[in-house]
Chain A
Amino acid sequence: MNLNINGSNLAIDVDPQMPLLWVLRDSLNLTGTKFGCGIAVCGACTVHQDGQAVRSCVTPVASVAGAKIQTIESLGTPEKPHPLQLAWIAEQVPQCGYCQSGMLMAAAALLKRKPKPNDADIDEAMTNLCRCGTYQRVRAAIHRAAGAQA
């Protein structure tokens, strides 16, 4: 099966029904994308499929063959971090940090679609769960990054 992950084309021999999450984590060792619930509720596994946020724990890998998959590992680079990553640091968003890859990927997809989201847009797009309760800092960081992008 041919996959395009973080800009690289890969030929990989996997069960077509295997969820993308486990291909990323266990076959490709891209562990930045997290397992939280396995039923697309918590959003810890959020990645981009052609720029859209998808929950990789319920996405069969066969369904993304040919699509451009982006994970947290390529959201930015050390030289050129994504504005959201800078905002996340500035607002000191993460606590345990486990859900934050998914939060960032969901937020990045939101900003792509809506560069200046209001609070209602954020409420609607950011349905990811965070047990540490970082929500108000996530919101502040999205606003900060949206301002920085302008």
Chain B
Amino acid sequence: MKRRNLILSGLGITGALIVGWGVLPARSRMGKPDNKLPTEGEVALNGWIKIAKDGGVVLAMHRSDMGQGIHNALSMLVAEELNVPLKQIRLEQAGHDSIYGNVAMFVGTLPFHPLQSEGVDKPFLVHSGEWIVGKVARELGVNATGGSSSVKDAWEHLRLAAATAKASLCLAAADQWKVPLQEIKVKDGGISHASGKSAHFGEFAQAAAAQTPQNVSLKDRKDWTLIGKPSARADVPAKTDGTAVFGMDVRLPNMLFASVVQVPQMGGTLSSFDAKEALAMPGVVKCVQLTSAAGSAPGFAVVAKSTWHAKQAADKVKAQWAQRMEGAIDTKRIESELKEKLKSEKGFTFHEQGDAAKAESSAARMIEAQYKAPYLAHATMEPMNCTAQFKSGSLEIWAPTQVPGLARAAAAKVANVSADKVKVNVTLLGGGFGRRLEADVVAQATQIAMALDGVPVQMVWSREQDMSHDFYRPMHVAQLSAALNAKGEVESLRIKSAGDAISPRWMSRVLPALSGPFDAPDKTTAEGLFDLPYGFANQHMSHVSTRMGVPVGFWRSVGHSHNAFFSESFIDELAFETKQDPLAFRLSLLKQAPRYAAVLKLAAEKANWGSALPAGHAHGLAFHESFGSIVAQVAEVSIQGSMPRVHRVVCAIDCGTVVNPGTVAQQVESSVNFALSAAMFGKIDIQEGVVQQTNFTNYTLVHMAQSPVVETWIVPSMQPPEGVGEPAVPPLAPAVANAMFKLTGQRIRSLPLKA
């Protein structure tokens, strides 16, 4: 496939769909006042901002908070431009409108090399690709919280919406007080004039709604009082006293509870079930068969007066299951098939530079290695759940979801009602990590609600169901090879990987109308391999896309999560084989990329790279760009038994302009621990179609005593904001593995890490 066609398939759709679609300029994402439901006493100034009677600012919150602090960050953007204290911002869930779609996330799916797509002089191909996909994404208006994109996406239009609201309020005040506009001051959450007049926003809200300010400009960054300074998160107090409402905490009058059992054999079916014994148990109301929808597995739900009664009864249902037609899924077999395909299939070339084949044919020495990463589960602390009520032809959903619009569409399809008959209430998410970009549980809860006409039902999966019915981070394998010349210098880097593509599978589950019969090349397969900043003269990066039958999904940092382990471990191998210090070797390859080198140098400096460590300790280094942000990590590691013990991780990050440095530090700490759990323990095995890991006993997470000290150092930047929620995940595993190599002399090429 030619690169040109690839751009058009960046969204997994064909070029034909795009032709003839109208242009929706970025500015129109400000929306109109009627984008929002009118609420008594409040005046909408645009699609984002309403002014309350008491002068409070109501912000349409379109993104889901799963711990990343996005509610606070977006509130900061609005408070900054409106010159109000953060506590004056109140949040209200945004409605369904294309202005709330996530354009940045979809533009981020384009497979461009970052060094070729940065800055104002980006090539025409990159520019036009981003323009087309941006346009389509604006039309689609898919509201998704993912891809570390929320601040990046909101950065311009949300500040513009706030600045415009402020300008309207100022115009209204100037009119009413009959003073020149330039003498109006907005500060401390209100409007004032040198004459001594002052009032809160509420007094001008109606008049402001009739204004159409011209020439609205954003604040200069030197005038920022909130952006760039640590801000105490508004959501924290409720998370210390039990009042924060997660999906499972929704309580409705006369609510019932459902426990779910799904086919244990992956891809299998429910042949028959006998619920007689279960239905006779105390507190049990009903047993509902669940059919597959939005990617959910078939099974059944038992509805009872408590989650426990439902679970006890569900365990008593006698079910007959059948393996899938194609035969039982087995991860051992998948691994050997992937290795075979790596050899036998050509794959799609994501990046080519110079002539790798020529360098290889004249190489004095080749260095080659094969790497592997397993399937992984998300294991959010809050197990999958959803609450639904179907009443008089309308459906109401309460869900901890990253995709409210797609959830609504999935529910409407199951209920066979139009989307406007479905209301989705987004709760707080007890972790997301990509698992809640799916709508499977919403489709299931809808089926249950339909069967319990009028009664609200909260469906909660057991941890065992959650672990065994995930959309897993796919297993990938990679062959890496480097050609060395007679002087021992690396002339070329070739990387070929194999594994399932996530995007087309996800599309088929949540956006089936846009899902085609053929998979377009998916950036998530090769990200972190084809887009390396290192200046090897000759490069060739390709991927063999497979379909192994395991349901695969987006797992925090997606393809980067395994590909950084492959690439950064191999870079360390090359440093060792060419007898160079891992830091010096990388820096020598980053001469054309000073922004990257600066991050690496900062981490090395703060970690005292090269200094003496306690006996049995070693430093490992890794470096990776993802979601627009560049991260370097130095891990201090020792070996305990056969396991790494990670004592300290020093992390430097360049994520462009920072909104809340406090959140950046939190996300780095979070990413390091999340990645460390996977690096030390993470592995999903499937035998005879059955997921072998069941709970935290055999899918282990890092706990307090194993958790490293994490230091975060932010590179000051004038660039627009980039991703924060994921980019510190990918470098952790290779940093630890590279330290283990120093300690043991053994190169570990498979995850999880074992000495």
Contact = CB atoms under 8 A, between A and B. Distances in A.
Task: Answer yes or no: are A and B bound together in one complex.
Answer: yes
Interface of A: 15, 18-19, 22, 25-27, 29-39, 41-42, 44, 71-73, 75-76, 78, 81, 84-85, 88-89, 92-101, 104, 122-124, 126-139
The 6 closest A-B pairs by CB, nearest first: A32-B242, A133-B673, A98-B430, A97-B239, A96-B67, A95-B67
Contact of A72 (B242, B462, B704): B242
B118 interface: no
11 contacts: A34-B381, A35-B248, A39-B696, A72-B242, A75-B242, A94-B239, A95-B666, A97-B430, A101-B242, A133-B673, A137-B666
Given A96-B67, A135-B704, A136-B669, 4 more contacts: A22-B308, A92-B233, A98-B381, A129-B696
Contact of B242 (A31, A35, A88): A31
Interface stretch (B38-46, B607-615, B705-713): B705-713
B305 to A, nearest CB: 8
A7 B379 CA distance: 35
Interface in B252-310: 257, 282-283, 305-309
Contacts of B701: 129, 131
Contacts of B433: 131
Contacts of B306: 18, 22, 26-27
Nearest to A43: B703
A123 B240 contact: no
A36 B381 contact: yes
Contacts of B707: 133, 135-136
B304 to A, nearest CB: 10
B670 interface: yes
A107 to B, nearest CB: 11
B430 A96 contact: yes
Contacts of B704: 122-123, 126-128, 135, 138-139
Nearest to A123: B705
A8 to B, nearest CB: 16
B696 A37 contact: yes
Contact of A89 (B236, B242, B382, B671): B236
A130 B672 CA distance: 12
Interface string B59-102: 00000011111000000000000000000000000000000000
B249 A31 contact: yes
Nearest to A78: B241
Interface in B15-38: none
B243 interface: yes
B242 A71 contact: yes
Contacts of A85: 240-241
Given A36-B383, A88-B236, A97-B67, A22 B430 contact: no
A95 B307 contact: no
B163 interface: no
B308 A18 contact: yes
Given A22-B307, A133-B702, A97 B428 contact: yes
Contacts of A133: 669-674, 676, 702, 707
Interface residues of B, number: 65
B383 A100 contact: no
A27 B255 CA distance: 11
B340 interface: no
Contact of B460 (A35, A39, A44, A101): A35
Contacts of B244: 97
Given A123-B705, A135-B707, A36 B463 contact: yes
Contacts of A100: 239-240
A129 B65 CA distance: 20
Contacts of B383: 35-36
A1 to B, nearest CB: 15
Nearest to A72: B242
A139 B246 CA distance: 24
A59 to B, nearest CB: 12
Q: Which of B67, B249, B671 has the most CB of A within 10 A?
A: B67
B244 to A, nearest CB: 5
Interface in B674-732: 674, 676-677, 695-697, 701-705, 707, 709-710
A26 B248 contact: no
Q: Which of B232, B379, B380, B666 has the most CB of A within 10 A?
A: B666
Interface string B228-241: 00001101111111
B709 A31 contact: no
A75 B430 contact: no
A19 B695 CA distance: 18
A133 B704 CA distance: 9
A131 B242 contact: no
Contacts of A95: 67-69, 666, 670
B441 interface: no
Q: Which of B65, B244, B245, B672 has the most CB of A within 10 A?
A: B244
B232 A41 contact: no
A38 B695 CA distance: 9
A35 B307 contact: yes
A53 B244 CA distance: 22
A99 B308 contact: no
Nearest to B247: A98
B541 interface: no
Contacts of B236: 88-89, 92-94, 97
A129 B703 contact: yes
Contact of A136 (B240, B246, B710): B710
B591 interface: no
B186 interface: no
Nearest to B556: A131
B462 A38 contact: yes
B666 A99 contact: no
B431 interface: yes
Contacts of B246: 34, 97-98
B431 A37 contact: no
B431 A92 contact: no
Interface in B449-476: 460, 462-463
A66 B203 CA distance: 57
Nearest to B696: A41
A102 to B, nearest CB: 9
Given A29-B251, A89-B240, A34 B382 contact: yes
B69 to A, nearest CB: 7
A94 B244 CA distance: 11
Contacts of A39: 463, 695-697
A96 B672 CA distance: 16
Contacts of B410: none
B662 interface: yes
Contacts of B705: 123-124
A42 B381 contact: yes
A31 B95 CA distance: 27
A88 B232 CA distance: 11
A32 B670 contact: no
B429 interface: yes
Contacts of A128: 703-704
Interface string B303-329: 001111100000000000000000000
A72 B241 contact: yes
Q: Which of A39, A88, A97 has the most CB of B within 10 A?
A: A97
Contacts of A124: 705
A98 B710 CA distance: 21
A126 B242 CA distance: 19
B322 to A, nearest CB: 28
Interface string B375-388: 00001111100000
Q: Which of A76, A92, A138 has the most CB of B within 10 A?
A: A92
A132 B696 contact: no
Contacts of A98: 246, 380-382, 430-431
B68 to A, nearest CB: 7
